[in-house]
Amino acid sequence: MCNNVVALGNATADGSVLFGKNSDREPNEAHYLRAIPRATHAPGSVVQCTYIEIPQVAETNAVLLAQPCWIWGAEMGANDQGVVIGNTAVYSKVPYETGPGLIGMDFLRLALERANTARAALDVITSLLEKYGQGGNDGFSFKFYYHNSFLIADATSAWKLETAGRQWVAQQIKDIGATTNALTITTQYDLASKDLVQYALQQGWCKSPADFNFKQCYSGPGFYPSYLYTLLGRGDQRQARLMSLLNQQKGQLTPKSIMTILRDHGANQPSDWSPGPGFFENTVCMHAGFGPIRVDQSCGSLVSRLTATGQNHWATGSSAPCTGLFKPVWVDALPDTGPAPTERYNHTSLWWRHESLHRAILQDYAHRLAAFHPEQAALEAEFIAGALAQTNAPPAERLAFATASFAQADALTQKWANQMLTMPVQQPPPGLYTRAWNKFNKEASFVEGNTQAYTNMP
């Protein structure tokens, strides 16, 4: 599960292009922020992706990536040319290729490394898709297969690309756009694979080209697994919610607006809302829980601001954006966040240090988040303003600012993780929810109330 949003300059407060994504993965599937410099490659070189290797290009762009800990590719990222991409899992009637191949995150990284514009990134993905297909296990602790959609943007344009096997369709965004875990493109699109309609006709999904509707033909409705994944994951509902939130501020959207959208838990939620109850709590800011449908958690988040003269990015580098801090980063200015995390608790990793706070908040979500929120909001406002002021500063100055910001965020996280050890629980989560998180904690060798993250900070 994932959620992406984009707003072009005609929908933002300052004319910039804004992008945001929550990456939803398993609760212990730690994310890692990486910056990889521009590089040249010898003729005949190959690149080893998650499962297969493919020919390398002569030169690759510098990239900023947010990676699940075990994957070569990335869930979201940016390059030094001002291109940003986020992917989402989508489910279709086209059979999944279960053998080794390129997975959605591989396509994303390859496009960032090879493309200088949003349209060029789209072309990279579709050409690789048609040549290699998309295949391989996308799951972390269990086998899971899906197809992918992509939201791609640069400082002047944005594209929505949706795939089903080796078929694909693309739509240029005019002002605002969003993607979740459902196909959204119907009869209006700008680009498509050459046999998109013919394939649907051959499968009997429509009677004539005039009847063709990509979403209806390739995904549903019907009684088959792909439609059930879309239905139970509430992809269409989250899509509608994201578009509603974007429309509410259309023309006035800011980086803070995008951060707030990524923290959304639905309309008309009570002040004491908690992620504990329910078996289908698939919100924009997603929280894992009990049951086979609530296996995913927002494990990393990114917000980007793109202009012709510069770019800014803010990444949590941690799970649950509602409990985290969006910190300033750049493709050429990423602070040291510690060693690459794994699925096991490790206090030297940024992602796991934040889990000491995140998992403490879950013990009494509404009250503990409310206590933490004022300082969270104040510090994040400083990060936004400071990053905007540093947009075109020399790399060394931006790195110094980003490093100081990460240190401030770590200190605030430390303070509240320790403070919550002594806070009484006013509204404990339901027993089944607690049972689920006890299992997640056991699998990660994580102990609730563990302050090792701070008493032994590097």
Would you state the structure tokens that stand for residue 201, as one six-digit string? 């006709």
Instruction: Check residue 235 and give its pLDDT.
Output: 83
- Residue 120's SS3 state is helix
Number of Cβ within 10 Å of residue 135's Cβ equals: 18
Residue 55 lies in a domain: yes
pLDDT tens sequence across 317-346: 999 999 999 999 999 999 999 999 999 999
Instruction: Check residue 192 and give its pLDDT.
Output: 98
Please report, rounded to a whole number, the percentage of residues in the chain having pLDDT higher than 70: 95
Instruction: Check residue 57 and give its pLDDT.
Output: 98
CB of 106 closer than 8 Å to CB of 86: no
d(CA 372, CA 397): 30
Residue 367 lies in a domain: no
Residue 181 lies in a domain: yes
Would you state the structure tokens that stand for residue 379, as one six-digit string? 């510090």
Instruction: Check residue 405 and give its pLDDT.
Output: 98
Residue 430 lies in a domain: no
pLDDT tens sequence across 274-298: 999 887 778 999 999 998 888 899 9
Checking if the pLDDT of 94 tops 60, the result is yes
Instruction: Check residue 58 and give its pLDDT.
Output: 98
Task: List phi, psi (to 5°) of 363.
Answer: -70, -20
Query: pLDDT band for position 448 (50/70/90)?
Result: low
Number of Cβ within 10 Å of residue 127's Cβ equals: 11
Q: Which has the higher per-residue pLDDT, 37 or 421? A: 37
Beta strands of 316-380 (E only): which ranges? 327-329
Residue 308 lies in a domain: yes
pLDDT tens sequence across 185-226: 999 999 999 999 999 999 999 999 999 999 999 997 655 566
Positions marked active-site: 2
Tell me the residue type at 345: Y
pLDDT tens sequence across 43-88: 999 999 999 999 999 999 999 999 999 999 999 999 999 999 999 9
Q: What is the pTM of this model?
A: 0.95
Residue 75 lies in a domain: yes
d(CA 151, CA 173): 9
Give me the domain span that covers residue 177.
2-336
Checking if the pLDDT of 452 tops 60, the result is no
d(CA 396, CA 385): 18
CA triple 351-352-357, angle to 5 deg: 100
Q: What separation, in Å, do the N-terminal and C-terminal C-alpha atoms of the chain show? A: 33
Residue 39 lies in a domain: yes
Instruction: Check residue 280 and give its pLDDT.
Output: 74
Checking if the pLDDT of 458 tops 50, the result is no
Domain tally, the chain: 1
CB of 379 closer than 8 Å to CB of 412: yes
Would you state the structure tokens that stand for residue 19, as one six-digit string? 């992008």
For residue 314, give the H/E element and its range.
strand 310-315
pLDDT tens sequence across 306-321: 999 999 999 999 999 9
Q: Which CATH number fits the domain that encloses residue 83?
A: 3.60.60.10
Checking if the pLDDT of 374 tops 50, the result is yes
Residue 362 lies in a domain: no
Checking if the pLDDT of 441 tops 70, the result is yes
